[in-house]
Structure 1
Amino acid sequence: MENTQYEPATRKDSNKVYFLILVIVALLGTNAYLFFKDKKASDKIVTLTDEKSRMEIEIDKIEAELDKANTNNVKLSSEMKENQELARQKINELREELRKGKLTQGQLAKAQEEVKQLRYFVSKYTSDLAGLQKKNQALISERDSLKTTVANVSEQASRLEQQNSELNSKVKVAAALKSGAINITPVKVRNNGKETEVSRAGSAKKLRISFTIADNPISEKGMHDIFVRIVDPTGNLIVSDNGSLFTADGDDLQYTYKTAIEFDNAQGKVFNIDWTNPGPFQKGTYTVILYSDGYTMGTSKVNLK
């Protein structure tokens, strides 16, 4: 009878134990679920944070490439300047989004795609810039080559001009009239106009300068100016009244007398120039120098007693 009385109480205690066990198991399961959930969320946050850091580094690299590309001193077109500004604007926008804090998976995916597009954009920009730089370098090389060619042509032209000038000078010298023998005769002029050759200074009134022209086929035929310079026995040049100058042998000179002759390259033709002394002749030697075409023709002397 006693066993029958205690049996319900024992069963009731067993039920309580089972209930407690179930509660404990449920609590353990809940704790385990929360633990793994928190761990998964933590891992997810860590993953997002790592990806955010990686993208920040990637953006820094992209900006560094953009800065490096712009250190080549290449003149950018309007389109390339606009593209560069857009790239820098996108870099600033991405940095601002990453700076705001934790990203959701969707925001992360969007940011990753934008970084990918930015990478492509900057790569294309850098490639275009490199192409422009290469083209500029080719133009610079071509310009330098043209400069060298122009310098060479200019140098050659200067050399040819100098040679031509030297040749012209030689031709001019060669074409100038040159006298053959020059004879100087003192002449006395009587009251009746009759002329007589003399040798004394007191009797002479003028000097007759007789000369021939050396054969010269390149001399220009026609009228040629003849300048005469006469130096008296004291070494003084007898100067004409007008005091004009002429150029000969590279110098500006005064002359005593000026006239002209007609040259036709006839061999043996004798030309005569009479110079009347405005004052009395002196005893001694007179020197006569003839010039034409800018050069000396010849020189001769005469002695008066």
Structure 2
Amino acid sequence: MENQKNNSNLKAIIAILAVLLVGSLVYIFKMTSDAKALQTELTTTKTDKASVMKDLEELKATYDAAIAENTSMSDELIAEREKVVNLMKELEKSKGDAASLRKYRSQYFALESKMKALVAENDQLKKDNQVLTTQRDSTVMVLGEAQKYNEVLVGQNEELSRTVEKASKLNITNLQTAAYKLRSSGKQVETERARRADVLKISFVINENAVAKPGERTYYVQVIDSKNNVLGEKKTEAFGDKSLTYSFLTTINYENKPVQVTQDLPGENFEKGTYFVNVFDKAELVSKASFTLK
């Protein structure tokens, strides 16, 4: 009887120990499983945080590249890039739990969508600018060719104007001068003696020129004696930066036909020697001759 009782007690103790062992094993298994699950969650969370950060860095790099192109959208691109930078700073400081990562991931998708729209618009602007640049270059080239053509025309016109101006100049020919003595009867008698001379008669011919413009023409006649004195009126006329002292002037009405000009230059006590006669069209010398009085 006693032995049966001891056996019963032993079995009860063994049963209790078995239950405790099973409970311990179950607890240990659960703890191990929870630890693994926690480790897995932490690892996953860390990986997700790094993934979001990487996506944000790529987003920022895309904005940097677009901003570097310096288009008209640069200000808007810079503002959006700042949002990405601020989100990266917030993510860096966060604990990285699942809820916050979902929030950051959601914000990233919103920023990515905005970035795609802005970059597409920026690319279109670049294409438009390229087209405008090509059109501008083409226009500049056309204008350059037109300018060259105009310069050629201007040069030709200037050359033509110079040719016409040159062709329209009136030629003075047959410039002659003779000394005369006035008799009491009024008759003029030609002389070569200085002491007998009372007047110098100067004549020249303005030739026909069909190209020249009709109208009044004035010529300045300068007579210089052997002592380099200007005879006659001795008036001085300025033509720009040039001046001319002349003996007399004569004005004729030119009608594209030859004109004979003759005018007397009175004087007294004419010097012996060589005289010089010059005819000027304003400041331009157009004819010259000389004669001698004995």
TM-score range normalised by the length of the shorter chain: 0.7 to 0.9
Q: Which segment is superposed worse, 290-299 or 222-231? A: 290-299
For the 8 Å contact 1:246–1:254, the answer to whether it is kept is: no
1:258 and 2:241 are equivalent in the alignment: no
| Residue 287 (structure 2) aligns with | 298
Unmatched runs of 5 consecutive residues or more in structure 1: none
**TM-score normalised by the chain length of structure 1:** 0.83
Shift of 1:125: 1.8
Count of aligned pairs: 294
For the 8 Å contact 1:94–1:111, the answer to whether it is kept is: no
Q: Provide the identity percentage.
A: 22
Aligned ranges for residues 96-245 of structure 1 at < 5 Å?
A: 96-104=90-98, 106-238=99-231, 240-245=233-238
What is the alpha-carbon distance in structure 2 between the residues aligned to residue 83 and residue 265 of structure 1?
A: 79
1:14 corresponds to which of 8, 11, 30: 11
| Residue 30 (structure 1) aligns with | 27
**TM-score normalised by the chain length of structure 2:** 0.86
CA RMSD, 1 decimal:
2.8
Shift of 1:49: 0.6
What is the alpha-carbon distance in structure 2 between the residues aligned to residue 251 and residue 38 of structure 1?
A: 113
Unmatched runs of 5 consecutive residues or more in structure 2: none
Secondary structure class of the residue paired with 2:42: helix
For the 8 Å contact 2:202–2:264, the answer to whether it is kept is: yes
Identify if the C-alpha distance between structure 1 residues 199 and 240 changes in structure 2 by more than 3 Å, giving closer, same or farther.
same
Identify if the C-alpha distance between structure 1 residues 8 and 303 changes in structure 2 by more than 3 Å, giving closer, same or farther.
same
What is the alpha-carbon distance in structure 2 between the residues aligned to residue 133 and residue 171 of structure 1?
A: 55
For the 8 Å contact 2:223–2:278, the answer to whether it is kept is: yes
Shift of 1:165: 2.7
For the 8 Å contact 1:87–1:118, the answer to whether it is kept is: no
Secondary structure class of the residue paired with 2:234: coil
What is the alpha-carbon distance in structure 2 between the residues aligned to residue 158 and residue 254 of structure 1?
A: 41
| Residue 282 (structure 1) aligns with | 271
Q: Per-residue displacement from partner, 1:10-39 (whole Å, max 9, x unpaired)?
A: 022112112211211111111111101111
Q: Per-residue displacement from partner, 1:32-54 (whole Å, max 9, x unpaired)?
A: 11101111111111111111012
Shift of 1:73: 2.5
Identify if the C-alpha distance between structure 1 residues 237 and 157 changes in structure 2 by more than 3 Å, giving closer, same or farther.
farther
